[in-house]
Chains A and B, each alone.
Chain A
Amino acid sequence: MAAIEQRGAASDRPGRSFGDRISMRTKRLLWVWGFLALPILFYTVIRFYPTFQAFYLSFTNWDLLRPAKFIGAANYVKLFKDPQFWKVFKNTFTYLIVGTPISLVLAFVIAFFLDRVRLLHGFIRALYFLPYLTTAAAMAWVWRWFYQPPPIGVINDVFGMLGIPQQPFIRSVDQALFSIMVTAIWAGLGFQIIIFMAGLRAIPTTFYEAARIDGLGEWAILRKITLPLLKPTTVFLVVFSSIGFLRIFDQVYNMTTNDPGGPLGSTKPLVLMIYQTAFNSYAMGYAAAQTVVLFTILLVVSLLQLFILRDKK
Chain B
Amino acid sequence: MSEAPAFFHSNIRPGRIIAWTLLLIGGLIMVSPLAFMFSTSFKTADQVYDLRLVPAAPTLTNYITVLADGRFTRWFFNSTLVAVIVTLSNCFFDSLVGYTLAKFQFRGRYFIFLAILSTLMIPTEMLVIPWYLMSSQLGWLDSYWGIMFPGMMTAFGTFLMKQFFETVPNDFIEAARVDGLNEFQIWWKVALPLVTPALSALAIFTFLGNWTAFFWPLIVTTSKELYTLPVGLSSFAVEQSIQWEMIMTGAAIATLPTLLVFLVLQRYIVRGVMLAGLKG
Chain A residues with CB under 8 Å of chain B are 2-3, 6-7, 28-29, 31-32, 35-36, 38-40, 42-43, 46-51, 53-54, 57, 110, 113-114, 116-120, 122, 124-131, 133-139, 141-143, 145-146, 148, 151-152, 154, 157-158, 186, 189-191, 194-195, 197-199, 202, 205, 233, 236, 243, 247, 249-250, 253-254, 257, 271, 274-275, 278-279, 284, 287-288, 291-292, 294-295, 298-299, 302
Minimum CB distance partner of A112 in chain B: B19
What's the Cα separation between A186 and B96 when bound, in Å? 36
Question: Is there an interface contact between A54 and B129, defined as CB atoms closer than 8 Å?
Answer: yes
* Interface residues of B, dominant DSSP: helix
> B residues within 8 A CB of A197?
274
Is A50 within 8 A of B130, CB to CB?
yes
Find chain B residues with CB under 8 A from A278 CB.
128-129, 132
Residue from the set A54, A141, A247 with the largest chain B CB neighbour count within 10 Å: A141
The number of chain B residues touching the other chain, given as a range, is 35 or more
Q: Which of B112-160 contact A (CB under 8 A)?
A: 112, 115-116, 119, 121-123, 125-134, 149-150, 152-153, 158
Indicate if the CB atoms of B27 and A50 lie closer than 8 Å.
Answer: no
* Residues of chain B within 8 A of A122, CB atoms compared: 266
Q: Across the interface, which residues of B come within 8 angstroms of A254, CB to CB? A: 234, 237
Closest CB in chain B relative to A95 CB, distance in Å: 15
Q: How far is the CB of B179 from chain A (nearest CB, A)?
A: 5
Cross-chain contact A124 with B119 (CB below 8 angstroms) = no
Q: Which residues of the partner chain A approach B127 to less than 8 Å between Cβ atoms?
A: 46-47, 50-51, 54
Q: Are A2 and B128 in contact (CB under 8 A)?
A: no
The answer to whether A287 touches B234, judged by C-beta atoms less than 8 angstroms apart, is: no
Partner of A141, one of B28, B251, B262, B273: B251
- Do residues B179 and A3 form an inter-chain contact, with CB atoms below 8 A? yes
Question: Within 8 Å CB of B129, what residues of A?
Answer: 54, 57, 278, 284, 287-288, 291
Of A6, A126, A128, A139, the residue contacting B26 (CB under 8 A) is A128
List, in ascending order, chain A residues with CB within 8 A of B234's CB.
137, 141, 253-254, 257
Q: A133-B259, A186-B30 are in contact. Are A28 and B104 (CB under 8 A)?
A: yes
Q: Are B33 and A142 in touch, CB under 8 angstroms?
A: yes
Instruction: Give 24 CB contacts A-B under 8 Å.
Output: A32-B106, A36-B97, A39-B97, A42-B93, A43-B116, A47-B122, A53-B133, A110-B23, A113-B22, A130-B34, A137-B234, A139-B37, A142-B248, A152-B48, A205-B3, A233-B278, A250-B215, A250-B230, A257-B237, A271-B125, A271-B215, A278-B129, A279-B132, A292-B126
Interface centre among B22, B219, B231, B277, by most A CB within 10 Å? B277
How many Å lie between the Cα of A113 and that of B34 in the bound state? Answer: 24
Query: Which residues of chain A are within 8 angstroms of B172 by Cβ–Cβ distance?
Result: none
Tell me whether A142 and B119 are in contact (CB under 8 A): no
In this assembly, does B100 line the interface, its C-beta being within 8 Å of a C-beta of chain A?
A: yes
Contacts of A195 in B (CB 8 A): 273-274, 277-278
Q: Say yes or no: B31 contacts A127, CB within 8 Å.
A: yes
Given contacts A36-B97, A195-B273, A202-B278, A186 and B33 within 8 Å (CB-CB) = yes
Q: Is B214 positioned at the interface, with any CB of A under 8 Å from its CB?
A: yes
Bound complex: CA of A72 vs CA of B233, how far in Å?
41
Q: What is the chain A residue whose CB lies nearest that of B208?
A: A133
Does A130 lie within 8 Å of B259, measured CB to CB? yes
| Complex contacts, A151 vs chain B, CB 8 Å | 49
Q: How far is the CB of B248 from chain A (nearest CB, A)?
A: 7
Looking at the assembled complex, report how far the CB atom of B124 sits from the nearest CB atom of chain A, in whole angstroms. Answer: 8
A48 to chain B minimum Cβ distance, whole angstroms, is 7
Chain A residue with Cβ nearest B99? A35
Interfacial chain A residues near B266, Cβ < 8 Å: 122, 126
Q: Which residues of B contact A295 (CB under 8 A)?
A: 121-123, 126
B223 within 8 A of A: no
Measured CB to CB, the nearest residue on chain A to B178 is A3
> Hey, which chain B residues are within 8 Å of A291, CB to CB?
123, 125-126, 128-129
Q: Which residue of B36, B123, B153 contacts A142 across the interface (Cβ within 8 Å)? A: B36
Within the complex, what minimum Cβ distance (angstroms) separates A71 from chain B? 16
Kindly provide the distance from the CB of A222 to the nearest chain B CB, expressed in whole angstroms. 14
Contacts A50-B131, A257-B234, A299-B121; A145 near B277 (Cβ below 8 A): no
Whether B238 is near chain A, meaning CB under 8 Å from some CB there, is yes
Of A53, A138, A271, the most chain B CB neighbours within 10 A belong to A138
Given A129-B270, A137-B230, A142-B248, does the pair A117, B20 have CB atoms closer than 8 Å?
yes
Which of B121, B219, B229 is within 8 Å of A135, CB to CB? B229
Q: Which residues of A contact B130 (CB under 8 A)?
A: 49-51, 53-54, 57
Looking at the assembled complex, report how far the CB atom of B47 sits from the nearest CB atom of chain A, in whole angstroms: 12
> Which B residue's beta carbon lies closest to that of A52?
B130
Of the listed residues A40, A53, A133, A287, the one surrounded by the most CB atoms of chain B closer than 10 A to its CB is A133
Q: A195-B278, A295-B123 are in contact. Are A117 and B23 (CB under 8 A)?
A: yes
Q: Which residues of B contact A198 (CB under 8 A)?
A: 274, 277-278
Most buried by B among A29, A39, A279: A39
